[in-house]
Amino acid sequence: MSDQPDVHTHEPDEHDNAYAGLLVNDAHWAFGTDFEDPLAGVDTTVPDGVARADLAAYCLMLADDALILSHRLSEWCSHAPDLEEDIALANVALDLLGQARLLLARAAAADPAVVPSLPEGSPVPDEDALAFFRDARDFRNVRLCEVPNGDFAETVARLLVFSCWRLALLQRLSTSSDAVLAAVAAKGVKEVTYHRDFAGRWFLTLARGTEESRRRLVTALNELWPLYAELFLTHEVEGRVAEVGVGVDPAEVAGEVDVVLDQVLAVSGVERPAAPGLAGVQGKRGRDGMHTEAQSRLLAEMQVVARAHPMGRW
């Protein structure tokens, strides 16, 4: 045993530069190295009978619903009522973001014409170009996804309505003749099942909680209700892709979604609102790229950094 105290010394360079350790194994930096195609190795052949432009537009619709609501949910990060709910909302947002990424990549593979053009040599992958470099009018999400979060009750009410609807769509879509859509949908069913249960339980909890929680929940549902009818309107693209077995006509799921929602409303003792659907602008709605003002504000925040650096490598 030595009398000397065990003094740890290090090479002068080892700790003087905070970044030195990061350079040892560059492979661990997923966002600094090559950001590969999320559909690497996946067969992206377009099935017979569907126009490429229709398939791409339909993928954008499903992708944009997920992307825009994911962004809204992520706005709760560090603001939720407690840590568990903060983590839960972030998890739901992450699942939807993952679905959006695959669907955007599928849209780009189906019809490269939908991808905004970027400066020559830009490293931005197609799915990011679609997320960050399209204008509000090119987004095809339903308006339910874009309206601001409101309070926790409004977020819960929206997530419940959205999850009931999306789960019904994805379940049918899992037998799509497009192999990529079928796979993304089958995966999404498992995820959205958890989202719907989460939202349903909170809906019930708030409805049966205090007078204040119930008041807020009922107000939230009433305010969102004008956006409900739009979920089941058949856009011409949806009609065409449904006809050839690639997509789902949303009108088909209206009955099923009604039943599930009524189940939650009944247990919660909340009446189904009667407000009529929010009109479009000259008959055009979210699926046509006609959005509320909130969409532009959301995109401005979501896209600003990417748009400032079209040659950026992240």
Partner 1 sequence: MTMTLDHLQDRAVEVAASVTDPELPMLTLEDLGVLRDVRVAHDGSVTVTITPTYSGCPAMATMRDDLVLRLQQAGFDRVDVAVALAPAWSSDWITERGRRALAEHGISPPGRAPTVTGPVALLLAPTRRDVRCPRCASTDVEVTSEFGSTACRAMYRCRACLEPFDHVKEI
CB–CB of 144/162 below 8 Å? Answer: yes
User: What's the CA gap between 92 and 73, in Å, rounded?
Assistant: 8
267 binds partner 1 (CB under 8 A): yes
Phi, psi of 52 (to 5 degrees): -55, -40
| Stretch of residues binding partner 1 (CB under 8 A), selected from 15-23, 71-79, 183-191, 297-305 | 183-191
Distance of CA 149 to the CA centre of its chain: 14
CA 230/CA 285 separation, integer angstroms: 8
Can residue 171 be called a binding residue for partner 1 (CB under 8 A)?
yes
Kindly state whether residue 39 participates in binding partner 1, applying the rule CB under 8 A. Answer: yes
| 36 lies in the binding site for partner 1 (CB under 8 A) | yes
For residues 62 and 59, what is the distance between their CA atoms, to the nearest angstrom? Answer: 5
Q: Binders of partner 1: how many residues, by CB under 8 A?
A: 55
Instruction: Answer yes or no: are the C-beta atoms of 298 and 68 closer than 8 Å.
Output: yes
Q: Does 14 bind partner 1 (CB under 8 A)?
A: no
Based on CB atoms, which residue is closest to partner 1, 167 or 220? Answer: 167
List 18, 27, 274, 308, residue binding partner 1 (CB under 8 A)? 27
Minimal distance in Å, beta carbon 292 to partner 1? Answer: 26
What burial class does residue 164 get, using C-beta atoms within 10 Å of its C-beta: 0-12 exposed, 13-18 middle, 19+ buried?
A: buried
Task: Candidates 183, 244, 294, 306: give the one binding partner 1 (CB under 8 A).
Answer: 183
Binds partner 1 by CB under 8 A, chosen from 104, 110, 136, 167: 167
Q: Which residues from 78-117 bind partner 1, rule CB under 8 A? A: 84-85, 87-88, 90-92, 94-99, 101-102
Does 201 help bind partner 1 (rule: CB under 8 A)? yes
**Binding to partner 1 by residue 44, rule CB under 8 A?**
no
Closest CA to 158 of 143, 170, 138, 172: 143
Place of tokens 């011409």: 236
> Closest distance between partner 1 and the C-beta of residue 222, in Å?
21
Q: Does 41 bind partner 1 (CB under 8 A)?
A: yes
- Residue 7 vs 27, nearer CB to partner 1: 27
Least gap, CB of 185 to partner 1 (angstroms):
9
280 contributes a contact to partner 1 by CB under 8 A = no
CA–CA separation, 124 vs 133, rounded Å? Answer: 10
Site track for partner 1 across 49-78, x = CB under 8 A: ------------------------------
Contact set with partner 1 (CB under 8 A): 25, 27-28, 30-31, 33, 35-36, 38-42, 84-85, 87-88, 90-92, 94-99, 101-102, 167-168, 171, 179-180, 182-184, 186-191, 193-194, 196-198, 200-201, 204, 256, 260, 263-264, 267
